[in-house]
Amino acid sequence: PSGRVSLTVNGERHAATVDNRTSLLDLLREQLGLTGTKKGCDAGACGACTVLVDGRRVNACLTLAVRLEGAEVTTVEGLAPDEDDDLHPLQEAFIEQDAFQCGYCTPGQIMSGIGCIREGRTGSPEEIREWMSGNICRCGCYTKIAKAVEQAAG
């Protein structure tokens, strides 16, 4: 069975026909061509697919697209949509702190970091690490990621 869903992604309205089991991750990547959001485990265990839904961070692989009628989704592409836009302060901080190696987890780390900052969970590197513990980095850049989030939190 399939259904229609209309939602806003990075400020743009979209209407899509989706199978009832289609994840937000597959809708973003396969139907909307927004491949900045990464698929790691596809099972809620790695955080590579983290996006914001109505301002809250979620694993897009665990979120059913059909449930998102009227939702506002922000992906990494929405942070600095045009070439001339300044990067988001957390994107700048990731560059300054050198907070990645292979970069595969980075979009999810950044979206999760934005959520972490909004939730006010940035009191110490330990607190940041704990509140971002759903985001795995196989290169082990956790210390630098926490520094970047701390920097952007100001």
Binding site for ligand FES (CB under 6 A): 39-42, 44-49, 59, 61
Q: Which is nearer to ligand FES, 97 or 142 (CB)?
A: 142
Nearest approach, Cβ of 15 to ligand FES (angstroms)? 24
Residue burial 78-106, b: 16+ Cβ < 10 Å; e: rest: bbeeeeeeeebbbbebbeebebbeeebbb
Distance CA 98, CA 40 (A): 22
Nearest approach, Cβ of 29 to ligand FES (angstroms)? 11
- Token couple for 106: 């980075």
Nearest approach, Cβ of 138 to ligand FES (angstroms)? 12
- Token couple for 96: 């300054």
Q: Which is nearer to ligand FES, 39 or 129 (CB)?
A: 39
Q: Which is nearer to ligand FES, 89 or 129 (CB)?
A: 129
Q: Which is nearer to ligand FES, 61 or 99 (CB)?
A: 61
Q: Which residue is nearest to ligand FES (CB)?
A: 61
In angstroms, the Cα distances linking 73 to 66, 129, 147 are 13, 24, 26
* 68 Cβ contact list (under 8 Å, min separation 6): 5, 7, 24, 53
Nearest approach, Cβ of 123 to ligand FES (angstroms)? 25
Beta bridge partners of 73: 9, 53
Q: Which is nearer to ligand FES, 38 or 147 (CB)?
A: 38
In angstroms, the Cα distances linking 49 to 1, 70, 83 are 25, 20, 23
Nearest approach, Cβ of 64 to ligand FES (angstroms)? 13
